[in-house]
Amino acid sequence: MTLLPALRGAGADRPDAVRVAGRALSSEALLGCVNAVADRIRGAGAVAVDATPSLEAVVGMVGAVQAGVPLVPLPPGADARERARILRESGASVVLGPAVVAASPRLPVVPVDLRRRSWGQQPEPPPGVDAVVLYTGGTGGPPRGVRISRRAVAADLDLLAEAWRWNREDVLVQAAPLFRAYGLVVGLLGALRVGSRFVHLDRYAAAGPVGTMYLAVPDQWARIARDRPWARTLADARLLVSADAPLPPALTERLRLLTTHAPIQGYGTTETLIAVTGRAGAPGDTGIAGTPLPGVQTRLLDREDRPVPADGESVGELSIRGPTLFSGYVDGPPPPAPGWHATGDLATVAADGSHRIIGRRRTDVVHSRSRRVHAGPVEEALRSHPGVSDAAVVATPHHALGEQVTAYVVAAEGLTAQALIDHVGRHLSACHRPRRVHFVDELPRSALGRVRKSVLMAAG
């Protein structure tokens, strides 16, 4: 099995096969640079790369995959302590590039020099070898290292290429972080497997080049939607894709009006890669909607581990089984085969097999008396207020209700809690109105950028 055909001499040379932050490498130059890295790290236990949006980082990451050495991308936002933990747990024995030397004083550092080239034939590693070790978002606790095999990466990319009609004539433009499965596996490795050109934008880029496919996360789509001239250039694209979190229906509609495209959403966890994909929901819908990729099986179980009916309304915890599943955690045994992975997400399934992902079971649901209130619609309603820039909703204890809806909001000065409670009440039913509203300067986030709701729940 050849994981990355574009690095095995397949296809014609392109002057801009990979472009990152305005710098480009041709297909031939990319191959030479990647091989030079692979030659120097072959046989290492695992290789860490600072996942900054740079051409050197991309060459280092692809070089590790080319060498058959597990790649460990380090989140640029992680502090020295978190980086040291990732390096220790993942078994990294080499660091590519100088950016993380301070966090790993005892590990050898191999610099990535784009002037170095190698043209030797690289052996293809076995399919079961780990391609990457990615860390989970850390929303409900410390991030965990997830081992993902070359076989699982190839399976997911082939299924997505078929579902999205992705081919080598496409130009993939993305801004998704390179330390997440969406940006690294789907974006970068996907382009190299399919053979399409790859463009990675800096997270704060003011505009991007013209592409046929655009991959971004919801907060990036929100920024694009606020820039009307940029958004209108996307009308010439073939596909807009959002993943890593639900795309709010109001944002979906704004993108549709500006670009003429209804974005596609992809759902998956670090452990499953993207397993469900489909068009974003219409106004009024919440959560990610779609159907499982071919060969991917799903099941929804209630609190008593009984299957929920496929009526589009009954909620259960989603489990996934299929060829895209991870090999295990770095700190635990491999999952049972053929095992189901419980995602921790709540979902519904309709008679036609379409799924709607509602949110995390532990952090996105408020159990208020006999009602179950989902955080997503409340957060969307709060963010729709012109004075709110960010919001998170969690469950906190209540003496009579069991749990109450509590909101943490980043808002303009002068906005009151009652104004926000009334605003939510105008959009949703009474049970959705927050009973407590805390104004904060910023929401706590993990090194991977996810809101740490466990911290908010503990704060009350």
Say what the pLDDT of residue 393 is: 86
What is residue 105's predicted lDDT score, i.e. its pLDDT? 56
Q: How confident is the model over 304-350, as pLDDT tens digits?
A: 889 999 998 888 899 999 999 999 999 877 766 668 999 988 888 99
The sign one gets for the Cα dihedral 56, 62, 65, 70 is positive
User: What is the structure's pLDDT at 283?
Assistant: 46
Strands 145-149, 171-174: pairing is unpaired
370-401 confidence digits (pLDDT tens): 677 878 888 888 988 989 988 888 888 887 77
Which residue in 230, 215, 141 sits closest to 185, CA to CA? 215
Can you give the pLDDT at residue 91?
92
Q: How far apart are alpha carbons 354 and 365 in whole angstroms?
A: 21
Q: What is the pLDDT of residue 273?
A: 96
3-state secondary structure of 307: strand
What per-residue confidence (pLDDT) applies to 294?
95
| pLDDT at res. 102 | 46
Instruction: Provide DSSP, 313-348.
Output: S--EEEEEESTT---EETTSPPPPTTPPEEEEEEEE
Residue range 1-360, CATH number: 3.40.50.12780
Q: What is the total residue count of the chain?
A: 460
- Can you name the CATH fold of 365-459? GMP Synthetase; Chain A, domain 3 (3.30.300)
Name the residue ranges covered by the structural domains of the chain.
Answer: 1-360, 365-459
Q: Nearest to residue 124, comparing CAs of 65, 49, 196?
A: 65
User: The tokens of 224 are what?
Assistant: 């694009």
Distance CA 404, CA 393 (A): 10
Q: pLDDT below 50 — which residues of the chain?
A: 99, 101-102, 206, 283-284
Q: Name the strands in the sheet holding 94-96, side by side, starting at the edge strand that comes first in the sequence.
A: 109-110, 94-96, 47-50, 71-74, 130-135, 145-149, 328-329
- Which residue type sits at 154? A
Taking each helix axis as running N to C, give the angle between helix 417-427 and helix 375-383, from 0 to 180 degrees, rounded to the nearest 10: 110
Residue with tokens 């990675």: 200
